[in-house]
Every structure is written in C-alpha cells, then in structure tokens.
Structure 1
Amino acid sequence: MSYDLPRPAGRLLLTPEDREAPDRVRRLRRLRLGEHPEPALDAFADRVAECTGAPYAMVNFIDEHRQFFAGLHVPDIRPTVTSSAGTEQSAPELGRHMERDHGFCPHVVVRRKALVLEDVRDYPRFAGNPIVDEFGIRSYLGAPLVDSTGMVLGTVCAADIEPRPWGRSGLEIIKSAAAELVARLERREDDGLLI
C-alpha cells in the first residue's frame, strides 16, 4: 500500500482548475459553512493538531477565489522563518482567509484524495507555494471532506514548519479525521443544527 505521495515535478506550482467550485459554494451555503468561524470546528482543529503533533491544523472550506478556515489551530508563539533574502523574522499571523493559490488544500480538493508532503522542498511543484516563504511551512498532511453526495467540501489538514515523516500513521489519522468530520457535518444537515 502506498502513502499517496506526489511525484517530484520539474515545474512550478500551478493551482489546479477547480470545476466543482460553483457547486461546492451552493452546497456549503446549504450547510451554512464557509462564512464564519465555528468554535466546534476550532476545537476539531485543536484535536487534529494534538493527534498529529503539528503546530497548525485547519478545517478549510474552499470557494472559487479563496479558502476559509472555519476551524483553526495555530501555535501560541509565531515561528521564525527565513526570508528569501536570508534574514530571520516572525511568520505573519495566519488568519481565517487565504487566497486560493496559497497552500496545498486546493490540490487535495481537486485530486479528491489525501496528500502527504513530508518536506515540500522535495517537490518543486509545491516548494514555490507562497506559504513556504511567508509562513515557513515545510510539511503538510491533508485529506478531502467528501460528503455523501460526492461533493468535496474542503479539507482537514495539518502543517508544520519542520519536515515531518508523517508516514502511514499520519495518513490514517488525517483520513479518519476527515471521515469523522463529514459524518458530523451531515448530522448537522439532517438535524438542521449547528455542530
């Protein structure tokens, strides 16, 4: 069984075209997701961070133009990153919104399967992503949130400023977290309640 690691590519990052985005936006609105932070989703992100040992974890919903972290866990102290000029500085604070071409979650959504990047610098396609320089992200672990209609709503993910050997156990943790969260979101729809 493979870890579903991407193969190194000899080209720069290209954010994949997302043809399902308009349908996803409609589905997210129906579920009342992707517009406001939710304490229950923040708690879920906290638990993902704890289970993976990562300083960052997110529940991320993606529309045509941006990503929204409805659940967010960030480190108490912002990490130090080295700029392309070689100077060290504190990473900027990660907010709730991010451009669609930042990060690796858009790739997970379009691929419709988990993505494991133990060291993003090993993959030229991902190493040029703005979050590598801006936030110092060096490793990523993410899984899609695929609901019972087959729609990918977004992702649940963890990231670190150090390379991480996530391995099979990390992949299973993130996939299990995604399945659990989808079940919770669908119960919310069935009950007409917030999670």
Structure 2
Amino acid sequence: MSKATTEQASDLSRTVLCVDDEQRIDDVTAAIDAEGTLGAVEATTVEGATELLREESVVCVVTSYELSDGTGMDVIRAVREHAPQVPSVLFTARPPQDIDTASFEETIVEYLNRDLPDAHDRLGFVTTDVIEHSAQVGFLRPDDEAERLDTLAGYDIDELPIKESFERLTDLIASHFDVGVAFIGLIEEDEESFLACHGGDFGSMTREETICTHSMLQEDVMVIEDIADDNRFNKNEQLENLGIVSYAGANMTAPDGQVIGQVCAIDFEERHYDAEERAELQDFAETAMEILDLRKSLRDARGEEAGR
C-alpha cells in the first residue's frame, strides 16, 4: 500500500479500496483521488484486499477482474463476507457475459469497461454514484423480502398475549449467558421492534442501525465478539451510544422458512461464544418461535369457533 495514498485517505471520510495489478494500480488510485471527496487505499492481490477489508473502514471497492492470485469475483466474495453493505465497482475489460454474475448476490456491484476511451475519467463519478446509491438502499434485504413480510404480518403480533412469556424468556437468556442485555425483536419493513428486552429500554431501531439486519441473512448464529473490530458496525453511532460491545443473534424462523425476528444476547464488554453456547442461543430462538406459533394457533382456533 502506498504510504502517501494511505495518509490522504485517512483525512477523508470516504475511503475506497482499489484492487488491481502493480502495473495499473497507480492509475486507478489516481482516478479515485482526483474525485476530491474520495481517498484511495490499494491492494494488488485478493489476499491483500481481504486483509484490508478486515482492517480498514471503506465505503466502496474498485477491483479489476484479473489478479495474480484470483479474480475480482474473489474480491467481491470477500466484500460479501467482511463488509456486505459496501458496494463494489468491477473495473475490467472482460465483458459482463463472461462473468458469473450470480456472485453479485447480496452485494451492490457496478460494472465499468476499462477499455472505454474515458474510462479512467468516469471511474470517480461511477464510484461516487454507486456509493450514493448504496446509502439510499440503506440496508440489505433478503431476496424474498415480500414473502417474509407477508409471513410476519400473518402473526398479527399486537393481538397475541406474548409479552409476559417473552419477558420471562429474555430474563432467562440474560441469566444463562451472564450478559447485560437480552432481547427478542421482530424485523419489520423498515425497523426492528423489540417485543421484550432484559437490561435495556429498547423500543425499536431502524434496520440501518440494527445488527440484526445482517444477522438475519445468516443461517447460523451470528457472533461479534468486539464491535470495535468489525468495520460494518464500528462507526454505528446508535450502537456506540448504547455502549454495546458484543453481540450474538439467532434467527426466529417461521414454519414456512421465513426469518421474522431475532433472539439476541448483547453485552457491554467483549464476549466469546463457543459452539455449545451458540447452539443454546439458537434453542432459545426456537423456543420464542414456538411461543409465537402456539399463541397464533390458539387465536386462529378461537376465530374459527366464533365464525361457526
């Protein structure tokens, strides 16, 4: 990485990771730096890019396709793993039809042909545009978001007597894991609403602010031992204001397979969760889901009887 480029990027709020071979990287970083509101950090390999994604807080990744230890698709997969909210620009002469676009799922990717006469002049503009578009999107949504919201609506939570049961459950979770806060939250269209919360007075959080927006996209329990070390969340003012340091979240999955909420244990200090503890948290999430399903079944049965 160029020292000068790193120092320049550190003075700017919008840092762009540029990935290309050694012969072309300087031209790419120069195009990004010329945009004025952007600053470049650079890598010339997939491995180097992956390491920087772990260490740096970046707002976009500009990557070539051909790299010495892989391809731009490997870089985009690393983005999806380490910073899925960060958009990418694939800057390559390889035509789109020769690229496996299935690898783009769950990330925002723009394509720019580097063989165009004004490609380098346009690169800064395209990068800024994809950053702004990403900010407007705000957060990642599952591909089946409409179906998921339909499933959630079917529970009609306001009509279910679940408050006391969920409060007892969050008390138990907090005690079991010895954490400061445990909550049960439903992930609605634009926010997460908390049905019960031990150790905190959480009403709701926007989906841009809550970690559960990311956790719900994972099949397994998501654990962040120290948020300060995670580029996705270490600049989240809401989490900082709440003093949250560690997070563990398990999916509440409805019988039709849709994830409608999360059961979470969070703490004000760094926390590790081993495989057994992760399995236990998932058990608590399944218990919460069973309570919802039981209450829904009883309500539906009463409705059917009343309709006879």
The normalised TM-score by structure 1 is: 0.76
Query: Is the aligned partner of 1:65 residue 2:190?
Result: yes
Match of 1:140 among 209, 227, 247: 247
Query: Is the aligned partner of 1:182 residue 2:306?
Result: no
Aligned length: 169
SS in 1 for 2:165: helix
Query: Is the aligned partner of 1:32 residue 2:156?
Result: yes
5+ unaligned residues in a row in structure 1: which ranges?
A: 1-6, 76-93
In structure 1, how many angstroms separate the alpha carbons of the residues matched to 2:141 and 2:260? 15
**How big is the shift at 1:35?**
8.5
Highest RCO, 1 vs 2 (Cα 8 Å, sep ≥ 6): 1
**How big is the shift at 1:34?**
6.8
The normalised TM-score by structure 2 is: 0.50
Aligned positions of 1:31-180 closer than 5 A: 31-33=155-157, 38-74=163-199, 94-180=201-287
Q: Greater share of helix residues, 1 or 2?
A: 2
| Between 184-193 and 173-182, the greater mean CA deviation after superposition | 184-193
**How big is the shift at 1:45?**
1.3
Over the residues paired in the alignment, what is the CA RMSD in angstroms? 2.4
In structure 2, how many angstroms separate the alpha carbons of the residues matched to 1:173 and 1:97? 25
Are 1:140 and 1:159, in contact at CA under 8 Å, matched by a contact in 2? yes
Q: Any idea what the Cα deviations from partners look like across 1:130-167, whole Å, max 9, x if unmatched?
A: 33311111100110011210010110001011001222
5+ unaligned residues in a row in structure 2: which ranges?
A: 1-52, 60-82, 86-138, 301-308
In structure 1, how many angstroms separate the alpha carbons of the residues matched to 2:172 and 2:227? 24
